[in-house]
């Protein structure tokens, strides 16, 4: 199945790349290569002096990046959370823009072997980087009921987290640990008595386990901080998120970095300068949602590195 060319339609493609590219000869980061839609769009907007460095944890995505035969392009097999260190090793200390397209890509969802979707029966893997780390099945086999409930509640915002965790633990105690997507979907369906119209009962549980297994929220925080160290004054940060947990982190980060706060240790000193200013919040239009239903929950937030203060990346 891994040889199948699953299609991926980039969300908010033109809006994101238009927002982030301010200097055509600059250096830009595509934090999640996926199948290269955003990277190709960035390259199309750059001069021969421009450069795009993409990151992806998924070995299949990195393999797909080899199809881009462009001297201005590099793809790194790593999380965007490590972009500062990885770029530093390449001799890059600052960039003109960072684009993060969060969440899971269509090829990951549509490949049954990856275990991301309850639409197919497959091993419950869910790792974006299949070369390392613990699978979702392994977590459910070792974690106690309280840990499972916390993950499903905190990362899935699932109000039935406790009964779902009890059902998973009970099945495991009976010698039938949950190891496949179909088994998990069945357990959740039995434990969840009501659900929003049109939503599968397992949706929130699958989301929670995927986020947990891939440490997505922690990596998002790290990636946003890394971007702040790398962006030059006037450089742009553009983040596309697909659910409230991600968007909340991005929104709060931009708000925090847009405030000018005094140093409490030196009350008479002038307040520290702001490091960001919010530029835009963009949602997909009706035409894009009709053409690509997976775009319906997307939110693009754009912020600009202010000229006030110094770029911490330049001094590091």
* CATH of the domain spanning 13-107+216-315, picked from 3.30.499.10, 3.30.70.3450, 3.90.1300.10, 3.40.50.150: 3.40.50.150
Q: What is the pLDDT of residues 9-34, one digit of tens each?
A: 789 999 999 999 999 999 999 999 98
C-alpha 142, offset from chain centre = 26
Letter string b/e over residues 146-166, b meaning 16 or more CB atoms within 10 A of that residue's CB: eebbbbbbebbebebbbbbbe
Q: What average pLDDT does the segment 291-301 reach?
A: 91
- Could you tell me where the beta strands, DSSP code E, fall in the chain? 27-30, 51-56, 73-77, 95-101, 231-241, 276-282, 299-305
Strand duo 95-101 + 231-241: pairing: parallel
Residues paired with 77 in a beta bridge = 56
First to last CA, the chain: 45
Domains in the chain: boundaries: 13-107+216-315, 130-213
Question: What are the structure tokens assigned to 136, written together?
Answer: 């979702």
Residues paired with 97 in a beta bridge = 28, 236
Kindly report the pTM of this predicted structure.
Answer: 0.88
Q: What is the pLDDT of residues 100-157, one digit of tens each?
A: 999 777 667 767 778 778 888 999 999 999 899 999 999 999 999 999 999 999 999 9
Cβ-proximal residues to 187 (8 Å cutoff; 6+ apart), any chain: 164, 167, 168, 171, 178
| pLDDT above 90 for 289 | yes
**Does CATH place domain 130-213 in 3.40.50.300?**
no
pLDDT of residue 56: 95
| pLDDT above 60 for 171 | yes
Neighbour-count burial of 125, counting CB atoms closer than 10 A to its CB (0-12 exposed, 13-18 middle, 19+ buried): buried
Q: What is the pLDDT of residues 175-190, one digit of tens each?
A: 999 999 999 999 999 9
pLDDT of residue 270: 63
Q: What is the pLDDT of residues 187-209, one digit of tens each?
A: 999 999 777 777 789 999 999 99
Q: What is the pLDDT of residues 235-264, one digit of tens each?
A: 999 999 999 999 999 999 999 999 876 656
Rounded CA separation 147/82 (Å): 27
């Amino acid at each position: 199945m891994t040889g199948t060319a699953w299609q991926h339609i980039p969300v908010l493609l033109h809006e994101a790349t238009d927002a982030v590219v301010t200097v055509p000869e600059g250096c830009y980061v595509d934090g999640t290569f996926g199948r290269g839609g955003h990277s190709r769009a960035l390259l199309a907007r750059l001069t021969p002096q421009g450069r795009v460095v993409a990151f992806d944890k998924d070995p299949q995505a990195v393999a797909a990046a080899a199809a881009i035969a462009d001297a201005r392009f590099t793809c790194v097999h790593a999380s965007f959370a490590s972009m500062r260190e990885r770029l530093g090793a390449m001799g890059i200390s600052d960039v003109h823009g960072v684009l993060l397209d969060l969440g899971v890509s269509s090829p990951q969802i549509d490949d049954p072997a990856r275990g991301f979707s309850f639409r197919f029966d497959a091993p419950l893997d869910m790792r974006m980087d299949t070369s390392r780390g613990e699978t979702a099945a392994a977590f459910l086999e070792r974690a106690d009921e309280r840990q499972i409930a916390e993950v499903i509640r905190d990362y899935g915002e699932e109000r039935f987290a406790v009964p779902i965790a009890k059902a998973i633990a009970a099945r495991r105690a009976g010698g039938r640990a949950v190891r496949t997507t179909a088994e998990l979907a069945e357990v959740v369906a039995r434990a969840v008595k009501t659900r929003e119209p049109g939503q599968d009962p397992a949706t929130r549980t699958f989301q929670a386990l995927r986020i947990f297994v891939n440490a997505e929220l922690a990596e998002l925080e790290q990636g946003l901080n890394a971007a702040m160290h790398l962006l030059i004054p006037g450089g742009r940060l553009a983040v596309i998120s697909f659910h409230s947990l991600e968007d909340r982190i991005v929104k709060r980060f931009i708000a925090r970095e847009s405030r000018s706060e005094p140093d409490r240790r030196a009350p008479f000193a002038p307040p520290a300068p702001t490091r960001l200013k919010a530029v835009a919040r963009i949602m997909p239009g009706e035409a894009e949602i009709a053409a690509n239903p997976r775009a319906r929950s997307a939110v693009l937030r754009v912020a600009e590195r202010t000229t006030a203060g110094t770029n911490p990346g330049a001094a590091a």
